[in-house]
Amino acid sequence: MALTAPVGAKTFYENGLLGLKAALEAVNGATAGKITILNVLPADIDAGSWAVCGAAGDSVGGTNVGSAVLGHAPIQAISGILAGTEEGAGENGWKLTFDPIDNVNVDTTGTAIAICLIVGRDTFAGGSDVDVRYIVDLTDIAMTSGTSVNIPTWDIEIEYGTNV
């Protein structure tokens, strides 16, 4: 007997990434999303600990940022969603690609363990869990205040279930 893993409709996978893309893209000519470099992850997804991830739209240096934020920058561009049947996407998956972000200022010395996508230019350091859209683990990277780092192109990918 052979079992076939369920395969959702295209919209089941694609809509989640389209929603993320729309939330982070430009609104009225201004970047809506921001990336923050974190040295601590939120402690509890049900509590106000998400505030550690945020950075306000008017943040300068370490002002108006969450306690875990080492540096932050606006999201640059987000490529369209690639379907799994297109070259560059994983087998039977959907992929959203983020353009590189160069010269992200490091405001606080520490060890970067993750990057976080937050929405809203006005997301204050006291934001909530609805401001945080995605957290990506990093291999520990030492960062020094007053320097800058480049964030390369990276992807968020959702893969279909597959037969094994």
Q: What is the pLDDT of residues 102-158, one digit of tens each?
A: 999 999 999 999 998 888 655 555 566 667 888 888 889 999 999 999 998 888 877
The DSSP call for residue 77 is -
Q: What is the pLDDT of residues 77-109, one digit of tens each?
A: 887 777 665 555 455 567 788 888 999 999 999
- For residue 54, which amino acid is it? G
Asked if the model's pLDDT at residue 20 lies above 70, the reply is: yes
- pLDDT for res 47: 58
Is 110 strand, coil or helix?
Answer: strand
Please state the domain extents for the chain: 10-159
pTM value is 0.77
